Structure 1
Amino acid sequence: MKQTWRWFGPKDQVSIDDMLQAGVQGVVTALHHIPTGTVWTEQEIAARQAVLAHMEDGTPSNLAWDVVESLPVSEDIKKQQGDWRAHIDAYRQSMRHLAAAGIKVICYNFMPVLDWTRTSLTHRLPSGATCMRFDLTDFAAFDLHILQRPGAAEEYDAALCEAAARRYAAMSGAERDALAGNVVFGLPGAAEKFTLEDVRAHLAEYAAMSEDTLRAHLIDFLSEVVPLAEELGLRLCCHPDDPPFALLGLPRIMSSEEQYVKIMQAVDSPANGITLCSGSLGARPDNDLPGMMARLGDRVHFLHLRNVTRETSDVRGSFYEAEHLGGDTDMVALVEAVLKEEARRKASGRADWSIPFRPDHGQDILDDLNRRAQPGYPSIGRLKGLAELRGVIAALEPRIGL
């Protein structure tokens, strides 16, 4: 399991020196400043690689850009409208440039409108640490009373609507603004940020789209890019929905094992793969993460290892981001399933037998509380998670023979 670290570029509060001191073996990054739908040029890719290659004092870092996260898919592609064909052409050209630069793994997602959703970015825990949280009542308050989405009340039961009304009434103006900002925060590090009006406009355009239609659009997209990925030796891997259940009346198509299987079968290629995110998928109680790794592992090209604590047993419910070994996902069993898949790959001669992973997210602890890094991406909290995962890997590897 190759240990990588997500880095948001030169403006990231976590430096290249910090990554080296954490002992990571590779970097996950993206050209976040380039607008979605435009080409990542060879020059921009090379510039990012050059920055990664050196510590602050000019000493070689020996760190390489191993995984792209994300090469974003535009809303036009998801909706098949506007400039969607030009955006696919740009995507394909970016793939060519990334392959020429030696980068082989590209993570993306196909979530409509909101790439991930939390109601709090700094939920305080009893220890004093903070973490990201999704509170269903707060989200319903946003949907019903801030966004005022038509038909929203039909998607919540009466008790939740009443609780949301009470929650909203008790909020100050600043708290309402903060909730709205958190929900529409958008893709980490992205150049674009949505306003409430942007969200309303996108929702109107998605209003008549079914899950089957959105899935068909993903299959059409993959039919255009996967053959090129095969030709270039790239591995594409789709990130799951976060959270993995319906929100704002939008279709969700990558929330469960069944949904992943449909996409893998529809475009049946080793280049059409999975980013197995244990935190996103783990927010849903009917997702069996170790089992998914065992059954779908030959198509898992990238791993996000994090944990969540679910606050209800419902498929759609509140949760918060737990310590890496402390939530509802059996992380030891999941890592064991990953190592077994690596052993199978190694025995069969696969060049990609070592699967890159990163300690995903982390609680803000110690100096993280003052550093104000990208939400969900503190330095010490992630290092703590990485250290815990290293311990699990070190304990299991000898048993599996890696």
Structure 2
Amino acid sequence: MKKIKGIAGFLVDGLVESTRLLGQGRNVGCFGFIDEEGYISSHTELVEGGLSGIPLRVLLGKVAAMEGNSIIEGLKQLPDNAVFITTRSGKTGLITDVTGVDFFNLPVVSIGVKNDGVAGVGLIMPKPGHYDLATEAEYLNLETLVTDTMEAEKEVLRKTNELGLAFLDLSDSLPVVDLPEKEPVKHSPVESSWRLPRAKVTALNGELAKELVEESISIGQGREVSVIGQLDDQGVVQPLGKIIAGGMGYVPARLMASSAADIKGKSLREIYGDVLPDNAVIVHTHPGGTGVMHVGDASAGPGTWGRPIIAIGHDQDGEIKGATVIEVEDRLYQLADEDERLNIAFFDAGTPEEEAEIRNRKFGIAQEYTGLCKPIELT
């Protein structure tokens, strides 16, 4: 990838001013574009952050066709010279994690905003080593669940802190340069040539379900386990990868993909966009549940990665209570779009009644996500 020499001052000023006007600790983001000389000299329209930070679907919609598409399908449409840019209120621009560069597989620029001005501009470039650090971070986050002595837990925490220190040296300061001001780039989104299948899931391999539950019971503590399965021509999810142990109520995205993919040196965008098969299905356990899923499951499966997600509910004795699937469908993406709009509208509410209406609708959206769960058979 071409070296980035600097970022246009007018773009930095615009982002900082928008952040200042928003206040409340909210950030502002956009995609920038590297020109032939190596400068970030143009950009998309600015996107305001909401309750959950920068709304990804809105952000991607400035460049990609997002209607009826998952996040990964949007990421696959990004041009090669794109850069993700975000402001950080109360920070200096120092980038202390690899989350953004791992997700986008793009350079990430962080603009620190303090006292209504620029506090620094940081840059982190996509590199295979950064992605391996992200894997290590996921692994260490789970390690405390398997330690059985105080000394062992101390060692894990020590490694976690050492990794945090290593993150401090991954970003560089990016020069701000004087370049001619340009209007935001407005793309006319067209249907992507890369789209994941919208296949229907009718059943799950029963032996695979039993293996997952047995593993879930063996590690205990209410931890979820997952595996990447593969949908056959009859709509039945068959075994594909190895079983991966997760945490309490979640399985990290990179480790989850390692079930059926070589993730070394690869970003999340590469893993879910290029490495995993298109007909992959995420299968995981819900200890203590019946298999009913919620907004978090929908986002972790079809919402972000464009693949169906299955949950197997079971009790502490290993008895399977049920299994459901959330498939890839337009209604899910309509709900995701509405939820992002509400996260922004929350800050525009002028009365308690308006805020209550927004909160009630967000609760309704969460209910609708659960309503997308479809019971499936074990064969």
Q: TM-score, normalised by structure 1?
A: 0.28
- Indicate the structure with greater helix content: 1
Please say which structure displays the higher CA radius of gyration.
2
Q: TM-score, normalised by structure 2?
A: 0.29
- Indicate the structure with greater strand content: 2
